[in-house]
Amino acid sequence: MAPTRDPLNAFLDYPEVPVTRALVGPLEGVRLAVKDIYDVAGYPTGCGNPEKLAENGVARETAPAVQELLDAGARFIGKTQTDELAFSLMGVNAHYPLPVNKAAPERVTGGSSSGSAAAVAGGLAEAAVGSDTGGSIRAPASFCGLIGLRTTHGRVSLKGAMPLAPSLDTFGYFADDIESYEAVGRIVLGRDEHKAPLTRLLALSALEDLVAGEGEAEEYQRMKALVEKALGPAMPISPFSASIDELYWAFRRIQAHEAWNIHGEWLSKKERNLGPGVEDRFGFGRTVDAKAEKAETMRRYLFRAELKELLAPGAVLVLPTVPGAAPLKNSTQDQLQAYRERALKLLCLAGLSGFPQITLPLGMVEGAPFGISLIGPPSSDITLIKLARRILSSTKTG
């Protein structure tokens, strides 16, 4: 199933099957797209890989998080493209045509929630479900000019979704307006356990230094000033015990180790014809032993405790979502990998901590979208969305 005309390559061309939903509800009128790692009853779950598609067959039940949205009146309009086995960040899948980034057609959409981002940015859906392990909501949202929340780890059920790295995998979704975003959030997130208002802004210069160049740095400071308009001046904080590079490698090793544990047996049975980059990342995971993973997990726990203490009084950490605009479609594999590594140094903090991070489409650089992010305390997801509403409203009135 796909919209009658999908010039954006956002959707997979599966045969249309009726999907049960409530006819009335708070999401009535919302067209919902769903990343093809989530089960939807009557549809296959391809996970971005033709052999997985052939082996998985048709799902009998819909993933609970998706079903909640359908029960609230959202109308399912199709399964969307994902990077292969959700193990990429650029939206480039060797087996399928490249999704189109309507906000910057010469640039990639980002992944692995590539089709979901393309669908919303292109006006084909009001909301789209994705997932975020290393940045698969936040990066595409920044690249395509969307709002995107990486939810608190474990807050939203991932039952009925393909795992990649379970200690890092989270539910996420896209919308291009805060009203739709908040409406979906009320359904899947419920009420926050974190009760304190978010009133203090923190900043770390080592993160801000990761933007790609002078133009990006200037635009980031402009976006940051918009956030400060709502929260007051950002308070500089000292670096964490671990350097950003050390946290990046902790993330990489933990993710790769878990991904190999999940998919290694399947990958080893026969040649799976994985695309460039994806095969390398699984190969790296094969080399990360339990001892290395344990050491990185200890580093992760210390970082999480440090960040939790910083954010506990009701603070948020502001940072660039990614280094700059989305890479160009004609970038080489080496260029894409270099961007990916730089981006992950920004994106890994929410993954390692498990804390929520929202990205807002406040900037433009080189004629393309560029987002700014806020990381909040654990289980402050709804409060972050409400803060995002304040920030976006202040930019309109200012």
Catalytic residues: 35, 112, 136
Beta strands in the chain (DSSP E): 31-35, 75-80, 127-132, 147-150, 170-175, 200-203, 235-236, 315-320, 357-365, 368-375
Task: Provide the pairing of β-strand 315-320 with 127-132.
Answer: unpaired
DSSP 135: S
The tokens of 323 are what? Answer: 């280094």
DSSP 391: H
The upper half-sphere exposure of residue 199, i.e. CA atoms within 13 Å in the direction of its Cβ, equals 4
Contacts of 366 (CB under 8 A, 6+ apart): 215, 324, 325
Contacts of 264 (CB under 8 A, 6+ apart): 282, 285, 286
Q: Is 299 exposed, middle or buried (0-12, 13-18, 19+ CB in 10 A)?
A: buried
**Are the C-beta atoms of 269 and 46 separated by less than 8 Å?**
no
Q: Is 279 exposed, middle or buried (0-12, 13-18, 19+ CB in 10 A)?
A: middle
Give me the residues paired with residue 148 across strands: 174, 359
Q: Is 217 left (phi over 0), alpha (psi -120 to 50) or beta?
A: alpha
**Are the C-beta atoms of 253 and 288 separated by less than 8 Å?**
yes
